[in-house]
Structure 1
Amino acid sequence: MNQPSQPLLSLQGISASYGSITALHNVSLDVPAGQIVTLIGANGAGKSTLMMTIFGMPRAHAGRIMFDGQDISALPTHQIARLGLAQSPEGRRIFGRMTVEENLRMGAEFAGHREFERDLQHMTTIFPRLKERLHQRGGTLSGGEQQMLAIARALMSRPKLLLLDEPSLGLAPLIVKQIFRVIADLNAREGLTVFLVEQNAFHALRLAHRAYVMVNGVITMSGSGQELLSSPEVRAAYLEGGRHHDAAAAQLEISQQGETP
C-alpha cells in the first residue's frame, strides 16, 4: 500500500448542472499522487458527471478543481488534457472505423509521436490481445477488447493521472478481473495515479487506497478502500445485491444508517 502523499487532483466544493438540473452538490475529494482512488455509487448518482466536470463538460459553477497545483476549473478541455490528464470514458468511445493502431496513434497526439513505437510495444505487452488485433478495425472488436483499447489509448498520452469511467461495464467476469489486474499492476509497478468511477463496488474497493460513496450528486461516505469494503452500510447498499439498486434506493438504505449529510 502506497504511503499518503499530496493530492495530484483536488476537487473543492464542486457543484455542476445540466441545464436547470443540479447534478453535483458541493463535492470535495482528493486523489493523492501514486494512489488509486475510487468513487462508487448507484446508476444515476452523478459519478460520470463528476468525471466529465473535471474536463470542463459540464463546467463547474461553484468550487474549484486543482490539478498538480494548478487551478484548471476554467481551462478549455484540450488544455486540461495537455497537462497530463487522460480519460477512458464510459462506453469506451473508440473510433470504430479506425484500426487498433490508428486509435492508439490518436491517443499519442498529446504526448507527441517521438516514442510511439516504444509506447505501442508497452501497450501490447500490457494487453497482448491488442497486438493480435493491431490492423483490425476497432468497431469489430469484442466488448472486452474495446475496453482494453480505450484504456491503452488513454495511456498512450503518458498521463500523470488516468481517469477510468466504468471500465467493467457490460464485461464478462473474467475480463473484468483482467482489467482490474492491469490497473493494479500499472499503479504498483509504474506509480500511475488512477481515479476510478465504478458501479462494481467489490472490485473497485478491493483495488482502492481511498474511496468515496456518491448518492444523488453528494459525497456521503469516505475512507480507505478496505474500510468501505467492510462497512455494513456499503455492504447493504452495494455489495449484497445493491449494485442493481437505483440511486433513490441506495440513498434510502444509507440514510437509514444515518450516513446522509
Structure 2
Amino acid sequence: MSALPSGAPAAAPLLSIRGVETFYGKIQALRGVDLDVYEGEIVTIIGANGAGKSTLMMTICGSPRARSGQILYRGEDITQLPTHSIMTRHIAQSPEGRRIFGRMTVMENLQMGTTLVGQDHFDEDLKRVFTLFPRLKERANQRGGTLSGGEQQMLAIARALMSRPKLLLLDEPSLGLAPLIVKQIFEVVRELNVNEGLTVFLVEQNAFHALRLAHRGYVMVNGAITMSGTGRELLSREEVRAAYLEGGRH
C-alpha cells in the first residue's frame, strides 16, 4: 500500500507507470519500470549516474518513446502521445541541465513558460514566481545565459511553474550547485507542495536531500526499480545509506 501525504484521500494515482521499457537503438535503458505518483505527493527516484532516472523522466514526456509498457496520467494512456500533447495536460518539466534560453532575458524565458496556457494569468503567476525566487525579480531584464548556475536553475523551475502544472517533473535540480543554493531550491519545492498541493516527481542524485524531502522514493539500478518505500524508510536502510548517502549530507 502506497504511503500518501498525511490527510490525502485514497485514490487512483495521478501518474502510473507499468512495465515501461525504453531503448536507445539496441541498448535497453529502462527495464520494466513500475511506479505510482499520487496527487499531492513528492516522489523521488534516486540512483547512480547512468541508472536511467533521466531517461524515465524523458520517456514520460514522450521523447524517447516507451517501446513497451504503459504510462497513465489521470487515468489516460499518454504512452504514445506526441510530446506537445502530453505537455498540454498540465505537466511541466524542469529538465536536467536547466536548458533555459540563454539569449533571452529572465522575463522572456518566463513568458515562454506560458506558451501552452496563454497569458491570461501572467501577472498573477509572475508575482508568484518572483515571490518564490526574489533573485529572478532582481535579474528580470538580464539575459539567462549571464545568470549563475543557481539562478539558472531557479529560472528553469519558475519557467515550468508559469504553465500552471498539476504535475511538476524535476530532473536533477541540485546538479552542480553550491549546498546553500540546493537548500534554497529544495525549500521552495517543499513550500509549493505544502502550500499549493503541487505534485512533484523528482529525479535526484543527492539522495540525502531528496529522501528527506519526499513522501516516497524509489531506487533505480541499471534501468530497473530495485527498492521503494517512504523517504524516511529508505533513509534508514543500510543498503541505501552505504550506496547513496556516504558523503552526501550537504
Residue in structure 1 matched with residue 88 of structure 2 by the alignment: 82
Q: Distance in 1 between matches of 2:223 and 2:75?
A: 25
Residue in structure 2 matched with residue 259 of structure 1 by the alignment: none
Residue by residue over 1:150-178, the C-alpha shift from the partner in whole angstroms, topping out at 9 and shown as x without a partner, is: 00000000001000000000000000000
Q: Which runs of 5+ in 1 are unaligned?
A: 244-261
Residue in structure 2 matched with residue 217 of structure 1 by the alignment: 223
Residue in structure 1 matching 2:108, options 89, 102, 109? 102
Give the TM-score taking structure 2 as reference length.
0.95
Instruction: Give the secondary structure class of the aligned counterpart of 2:140.
Output: coil
Residue by residue over 1:178-215, the C-alpha shift from the partner in whole angstroms, topping out at 9 and shown as x without a partner, is: 00000000000000000000000000000011100000
Aligned pair 1:47/2:53, yes or no? yes
Instruction: Give the secondary structure class of the aligned counterpart of 1:177.
Output: helix
Residue by residue over 1:27-82, the C-alpha shift from the partner in whole angstroms, topping out at 9 and shown as x without a partner, is: 00000000000000000000000000001111001100000110000100000000
State the number of aligned residues: 243
Aligned pair 1:13/2:19, yes or no? yes
Aligned pair 1:139/2:145, yes or no? yes
Residue in structure 2 matched with residue 178 of structure 1 by the alignment: 184
Residue by residue over 1:83-140, the C-alpha shift from the partner in whole angstroms, topping out at 9 and shown as x without a partner, is: 1110000000000000000000000111210110111111000000000000000000
Aligned pair 1:72/2:87, yes or no? no
C-alpha contact (below 8 Å) 2:208/2:248 kept by paired residues: no
Residue in structure 1 matching 2:196, options 190, 198, 202? 190
How far did residue 242 of structure 1 move?
7.4
Aligned pair 1:26/2:26, yes or no? no
How far did residue 5 of structure 1 move?
4.2
Residue in structure 2 matched with residue 256 of structure 1 by the alignment: none
Q: Distance in 1 between matches of 2:239 and 2:145?
A: 40
Q: Distance in 2 between matches of 1:72 and 1:192?
A: 20
Residue in structure 1 matched with residue 173 of structure 2 by the alignment: 167
Q: Distance in 2 between matches of 1:156 and 1:56?
A: 21
Instruction: Give the secondary structure class of the aligned counterpart of 1:186.
Output: helix
Give the TM-score taking structure 1 as reference length.
0.91
Residue in structure 2 matched with residue 128 of structure 1 by the alignment: 134
Residue in structure 1 matched with residue 97 of structure 2 by the alignment: 91
- Alignment root-mean-square deviation, CA: 1.1
C-alpha contact (below 8 Å) 2:206/2:248 kept by paired residues: no
Residue in structure 2 matched with residue 205 of structure 1 by the alignment: 211
Aligned pair 1:111/2:117, yes or no? yes
Q: Which runs of 5+ in 2 are unaligned?
A: none
C-alpha contact (below 8 Å) 1:101/1:135 kept by paired residues: yes
Q: Distance in 1 between matches of 2:31 and 2:202?
A: 19
Return the structure number with greater helix share.
1
C-alpha contact (below 8 Å) 1:213/1:219 kept by paired residues: yes
Q: Distance in 2 between matches of 1:236 and 1:242?
A: 11
Identical counterparts, % of pairs: 72
C-alpha contact (below 8 Å) 1:236/1:242 kept by paired residues: no
